[in-house]
Chains A and B, each alone.
Chain A
Amino acid sequence: NAGVTQTPKFQVLKTGQSMTLQCAQDMNHNSMYWYRQDPGMGLRLIYYSASEGTTDKGEVPNGYNVSRLNKREFSLRLESAAPSQTSVYFCASSVRTATGELFFGEGSRLTVL
């Protein structure tokens, strides 16, 4: 049972470089999310997709873009990475936004030098 799969698990970038974090779920969920987790700040929502074809900003969207490629896949792109984006990124999914149980991936640890 794969659940929510994120790639890559670890990445080191230099300031100004770009990269895309990939996320896929195999539970036929409608809603998908990207969170970041920082020490002392807890989990904060970056972007979410309530259903295929829609995306919305969360609490901390600046510096990020997302694409809901299809029902299974939701990617997060950093166009010009900054040291402030050093964090652990989690993808999650649920049957519907806010009303259902949330399932998380294992996380992607990103370091920006």
Chain B
Amino acid sequence: KQEVTQIPAALSVPEGENLVLNCSFTDSAIYNLQWFRQDPGKGLTSLLLIQSSQREQTSGRLNASLDKSSGRSTLYIAASQPGDSATYLCAVGPGSGGSQGNLIFGKGTKLSVKP
């Protein structure tokens, strides 16, 4: 059974720092991996989607990498800002053996960027 782990559960950094959030998964047979942002009391917003054939995706100050063989993905945030404070979740889409509807989510990393 696919399991997705995000470490650390919480992270606090000063404004301006570059930071890395980690996501690991136990089954490397994934179709894709997505990173989401969730603000308190809100829904999830998709940040980046990496297909299994890709190594990384970039959007603005965000860069996500994928290493299927080691079961890891990282989300790099450059020059962090207080507005980046939120919970970041990763989710993996199943490979050919899994339910096509069932994205498996990690429990998230709660990021706090201090001014």
Q: Interface of A with B (CB < 8 Å)?
A: 4, 31, 33, 40-45, 48, 50, 56, 58-59, 90, 92, 97-107
Q: Which of A41, A50, A102 contacts B34 (CB 8 A)?
A: A102
Provide a sorted-by-A list of 7 A–B residue pairs whose CB atoms are within 8 angstroms: A42-B89, A58-B102, A90-B44, A92-B44, A100-B49, A103-B46, A104-B43
Cα distance A107–B100 in the bound complex, in angstroms: 23
Q: Which of B34, B103, B107 contacts A45 (CB 8 A)?
A: B103
Which DSSP category, helix, strand, loop or mixed, fits chain B's interface?
strand
A-B complex: 5 closest residue pairs judged by Cβ atoms = A48-B101, A104-B43, A98-B93, A43-B105, A97-B100
Cα distance A98–B31 in the bound complex, in angstroms: 7
With A98-B93, A99-B31, A99-B32: A31-B101 Cβ-Cβ less than 8 Å = yes
Q: Is the CB of B43 within 8 A of A105?
A: yes
Residue of A nearest to B4 (CB): A42
Chain A residues closer than 8 Å to B43, beta-carbon distance: 4, 90, 104-107
Cα distance A27–B104 in the bound complex, in angstroms: 23
Chain A residues closer than 8 Å to B34, beta-carbon distance: 101-102
Chain B residues closer than 8 Å to A58, beta-carbon distance: 99, 101-102
- Interface footprint category on B: 20 to 34
Residue of A nearest to B49 (CB): A101
Q: Is the CB of A104 within 8 A of B93?
A: no
With A42-B108, A98-B93: A106-B32 Cβ-Cβ less than 8 Å = no
Chain A residues closer than 8 Å to B93, beta-carbon distance: 98-99
With A98-B32, A99-B32, A101-B49: A48-B102 Cβ-Cβ less than 8 Å = yes
Cα distance A58–B43 in the bound complex, in angstroms: 19
Cα distance A33–B106 in the bound complex, in angstroms: 17
Chain B residues closer than 8 Å to A45, beta-carbon distance: 101-103
- Distance (Å) between the CB of B56 and the closest chain A CB? 16
